[in-house]
Amino acid sequence: MQFRASYDTTTKVISAAVFILFLTAAADTRSLLVEGVFALLFLAAYAWSPTGYEIADGDVVIRRLIGNVRIPVSGIREVRIAARDDLSGNMRLFGSGGLFGYYGLFRNSKLGNTNWYVTDRGHSVVLVGDSGTALVSPDDVAGFVAAAGRTTPSRGADWAMVGAHGSSGHGWMAAGALIVGAAILGAFFFYAPGPPRYTLTNTALEIHDRFYPVTLDAASVDVAKVRVIDFDKDTDWKPVIRAGGFASEHYHSGWFRVLSGKKVRMYRADSKRVVLLPPKGDGTPVLLETEDPEKFVAAIEREWG
């Protein structure tokens, strides 16, 4: 017998919100690596979520893309519809709290450690077995409870968490993918290399940025107007939105819009004082943070003046 697993409203809202958040962040950074990490996390979350349930060949089967979980019916001592206190006071130890469902390891004072395979908390069913407790959420709660309870309980059976070919490797692979993806994502969010390195010669300025490196020809810069600006005082140059750049908590590079509406290239760590390199004609201004802005301006004037 097969049983559908539908999403409740909270799952739909959380999943849609996370998708929009990921999509917006990926579009803002315009980095293939960031987009790849977001896609990996989102797809892994979906692959790990329950897609339905089945009672077949003496097992309760939780269907998932990464591999099914099989619970021998003979090892189940209790099957019942979840009460309110079964779902209250839960602490998520590992897993999802709404993105494509509620799955993973949870704990509360009544059930203890419980493996959740839930997509709709309003249809939750508790399975208590000799080797642990699980929570599922078939759309047809009454039919599932009746079907799962037909076999006389016996003791000593172990739960088998196996994939379609009898291997639990899919779950570990998905867990590893999520951990690696989260680590990479965290590295991007907290990326803090300090002021970018640069090479200044009498003909060009090369900014060595990991994401958006650029080389400015001396002839393209209006040297007479190169100066130090302070975002607190020169508010027209204060960046307000990304327009194709990278931004973490402590580093910004690429294209940004400033308060005046102009589009600039900016390479800045944490300082509010940067050097303005205005273009000749209709080029794009560049805002560059250096360790000593005044010294850098003097070097520009000396090399290019």
pTM: 0.55
pLDDT recorded at residue 167: 37
pLDDT recorded at residue 42: 85
pLDDT recorded at residue 57: 86
Nearest to 110 by CA among 139, 138, 78: 78
- pLDDT digit string, tens, across residues 165-196: 333 444 455 555 555 555 555 555 667 789 99
Residues in the chain with pLDDT values less than 70: 25-34, 150-190
- pLDDT digit string, tens, across residues 203-228: 999 999 988 999 999 999 999 999 99
pLDDT recorded at residue 159: 39
pLDDT recorded at residue 82: 92
pLDDT recorded at residue 160: 38
* Residue with token string 């599932």: 144
As a whole number of angstroms, the distance between CA 210 and CA 213 comes to 7
Contact (Cβ atoms closer than 8 angstroms) between residue 250 and residue 300: no
Contact (Cβ atoms closer than 8 angstroms) between residue 198 and residue 215: no
Contact (Cβ atoms closer than 8 angstroms) between residue 137 and residue 82: no
How far, in Å, are 122, 197, 255, 274, 287 from residue 208 at the CA level? 55, 5, 15, 16, 14
As a whole number of angstroms, the distance between CA 90 and CA 302 comes to 66
Contact (Cβ atoms closer than 8 angstroms) between residue 253 and residue 209: yes
Which residues partner with 265 through β-bridges?
A: 255, 286
- pLDDT digit string, tens, across residues 12-37: 999 998 888 777 766 665 566 667 77
